[in-house]
C-alpha cells in the first residue's frame, strides 16, 4: 500500500519560468537513468525479493523515496512552465531574443500534449520505457545495476546543475545529487556485504565452476592495437574472486574455423551461392 502525503520532501520552486530548463529536467524524470527508472527498478526488485527481510525493506524504502523525487521534479517542471508566453512566441522572438531563444528551445509537447505540464519522457521527447529497468531476482546482480543507475543519474544531475543559473532549480538538484551520493554508498555497501556472504564476486555464485571453461576463465586477450591494457589490475596477479590468476595474452586465442554456411532452401529466395 502506498499513501501520498501532499507536502514535498524538499522544495521545488524555481526563481522564474524557463521552458528550456524544464526540457532539461525531463531527462531526470523519464530518461534511461531518470527517477522513473530507478523508482520502478527498485519497486520490482523489492516486490519479488525472497532474500532476508532487511534487503526487501531497504529496497522498498529507497524505491518509495524515488517516487517522491519524481513528484518533486514534475512539480519543478510544471512551475518552470508557468507564465511561459507560448501563445506569443513570434512576438517574443522579435522583441526579446533571449526570451525568444528560450521559448524556441522548449519541448513542444509540454504545451501541445501536457498543457504546460511534465511528461513521462526524456529531454528530447522519447517516452519512458519499462525496458530501462533491471530486476533479475538475483540481488548481487541487481545491486550492481542499481549502483550503475545511481552513478549515471548523479552524473546527469551534476551536468544540468552546471548548465543552469536558476538558484531555485539548483537547490533541488543539490538535494538529488546528495541523495544519489548516499544511494551509491548504500548499494556499494550492500554489494560488499553480499560478496562477503557468498564468498565470490561472481553471479550467480552457486553455478558449478566445473561446468565452465576454467582454462580461459582468467585470460585477458589483447584485441586492440597497443598493449597499454596489460598494466591493469585485470591482466595479472590473483583474481578478485580468489580462485585463479589473471593472464595477459598479446594475441586472442583462436580455436574455431572459418564458418561455411549451407545454401538455404530456394523457398527463402536468397541470393544463390554461384552469383558473382
Strands 237-238 and 245-249: antiparallel
243 among annotated binding-site residues: no
249 among annotated binding-site residues: no
138 among annotated binding-site residues: no
Cis omega before residue 51 (within 30°)? no
What secondary structure letter does DSSP report for 220? E
Three-state DSSP class for residue 249: strand
Strands 237-238 and 219-221: unpaired
163 Cβ neighbours under 8 A, 6+ residues apart: 24
150 among annotated binding-site residues: yes
Cβ atoms 41, 125 nearer than 8 A: no
69 among annotated binding-site residues: yes
255 among annotated binding-site residues: no
66 among annotated binding-site residues: yes
SS (H, E, C) 54-96: HHHHHHHHHHHHHHHHHHHHHHHHHHHHCCCCHHHHHHHHHHC
193 among annotated binding-site residues: no
Which H or E run includes 221? strand 219-221
Question: Which residues contribute to the annotated binding site for Mn(2+)?
Answer: 35, 66, 69, 150, 183
Question: Which residues contribute to the annotated binding site for Ca(2+)?
Answer: 57, 61, 222, 224, 226
Question: Which residues contribute to the annotated binding site?
Answer: 35, 57, 61, 66, 69, 150, 183, 222, 224, 226
Amino acid at each position: 500500500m502506498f499513501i501520498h502525503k501532499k507536502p514535498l520532501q524538499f522544495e521545488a520552486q524555481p526563481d522564474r519560468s524557463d521552458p528550456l530548463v524544464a526540457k532539461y529536467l525531463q531527462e531526470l524524470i523519464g530518461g534511461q537513468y531518470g527517477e522513473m527508472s530507478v523508482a520502478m527498478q527498485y519497486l520490482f526488485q523489492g516486490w519479488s525479493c525472497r532474500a532476508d527481510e532487511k534487503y526487501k525493506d531497504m529496497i522498498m524504502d529507497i524505491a518509495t523515496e524515488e517516487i517522491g523525487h519524481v513528484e518533486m521534479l514534475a512539480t519543478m517542471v510544471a512551475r518552470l512552465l508557468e507564465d511561459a508566453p507560448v501563445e506569443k512566441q513570434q512576438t517574443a522572438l522579435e522583441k526579446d531574443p533571449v526570451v525568444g531563444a528560450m521559448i524556441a528551445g522548449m519541448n513542444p509537447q509540454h504545451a501541445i500534449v501536457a498543457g504546460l505540464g511534465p511528461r513521462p519522457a526524456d529531454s528530447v521527447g522519447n517516452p519512458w520505457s519499462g525496458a530501462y529497468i533491471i530486476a533479475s531476482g538475483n540481488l548481487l546482480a541487481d545491486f550492481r545495476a542499481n549502483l550503475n543507475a545511481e552513478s549515471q543519474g548523479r552524473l546527469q544531475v551534476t551536468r544540468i546543475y552546471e548548465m543552469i543559473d536558476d538558484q531555485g532549480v539548483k537547490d533541488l538538484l543539490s538535494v538529488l545529487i546528495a541523495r544519489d551520493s548516499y544511494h551509491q554508498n548504500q548499494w556499494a555497501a550492500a554489494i560488499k556485504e553480499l560478496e562477503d556472504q557468498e564468498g565470490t564476486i561472481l553471479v550467480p555464485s552457486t553455478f558449478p565452476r566445473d561446468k565452465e571453461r576454467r582454462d580461459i576463465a582468467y585470460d585477458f586477450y589483447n584485441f586492440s592495437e597497443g598493449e597499454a591494457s596489460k598494466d591493469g589490475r585485470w591482466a595479472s596477479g590473483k583474481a578478485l574472486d580468489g580462485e585463479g590468476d589473471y593472464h595477459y595474452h598479446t594475441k586472442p586465442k583462436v580455436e574455431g574455423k572459418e564458418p561455411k554456411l549451407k545454401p538455404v532452401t530456394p523457398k527463402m529466395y536468397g541470393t544463390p551461392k554461384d552469383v558473382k
